[in-house]
Amino acid sequence: MTHAYRYLTEPEVRFIDAAVSRLIPADDLGPGAKEADVTYYIDGQLAGTWGVHGRQYRSGPWLDGTPEQGFQSRFTPQEIYRIAIREINTYCLATHENPFEQLPVEKQDHLLKALEKDQAELPSLSSKLFFDLLWRNTEEGFFADPMYGGNRGKAGWTLLGFPGVPSGAYREHLDNSEPYNAVPVSILDVQRGDAQVDAEGFVKHVMLKREGGK
């Protein structure tokens, strides 16, 4: 392991690495979620305020409610990840004699789709509840600033052509239809002194030559 994980256990890291590799796979467009350290990002989120739903209303009574009434689980995200991964792996071992990460990718995709559609019966919680959190966190980890541990090498931003922290040149470019292509700059880059900043505090982008985008 390349990181010290604060909340996730080793089997959980292996599960998430495998799952996020299917959600955003590595391919000829660039790194996937696993390579972008999304698992490490998720660990940071679970270990922080959000992992215990620190700013969410957490008093009972706890009722299921309708989909329109939103999140009503008594479990925190920490608990949802822990419980769901254990129960999914128990299912994988019972039916396929292997934990999730050792299944062929077709089986992994099939299972992820079942989780997403709430068609996988987990004993303690809705599989969709877990899948939706996992997908939301995967997207965040792939596209949030690298200061949160994911989006390694700005893989997500490079995929989009998003330059990150804005430059002081944007105002002049507002009504210009020329594609603006720059090496992405993160908050982390600025903090580390790896990016140049002008007198007003805007970053100075290094422009890329690109043939009409990707």
- Using CB under 8 A as the criterion, which residues of the chain lie in contact with another protein when the complex forms? 22-25, 27, 29, 32, 49-50, 53-59, 61, 63, 65-72, 109, 112, 116, 135, 138-140, 143-145, 147-148, 156-157, 159-168, 170-171, 173-177, 179-180, 187, 190-191, 197, 200-203, 212-214
Instruction: Report, in Å, the least distance between residue 4 CB and another protein.
Output: 21
Nearer to another protein, 56 or 90 (CB): 56
* Alpha carbon distance 41, 142 (integer Å): 9
Instruction: Report, in Å, the least distance between residue 131 CB and another protein.
Output: 10
Nearer to another protein, 101 or 132 (CB): 132
Instruction: Report, in Å, the least distance between residue 179 CB and another protein.
Output: 5
Instruction: Report, in Å, the least distance between residue 11 CB and another protein.
Output: 23
Nearer to another protein, 5 or 180 (CB): 180
Nearer to another protein, 2 or 66 (CB): 66
CB under 8 Å to 19, separation ≥6 — which residues?
100, 108, 112, 134
Instruction: Report, in Å, the least distance between residue 198 CB and another protein.
Output: 10
Neighbouring CB atoms inside 10 A of 80's CB total: 22
Nearer to another protein, 85 or 144 (CB): 144
Using an 8 Å Cβ cutoff, are 16 and 39 in contact?
yes
* Alpha carbon distance 91, 7 (integer Å): 23
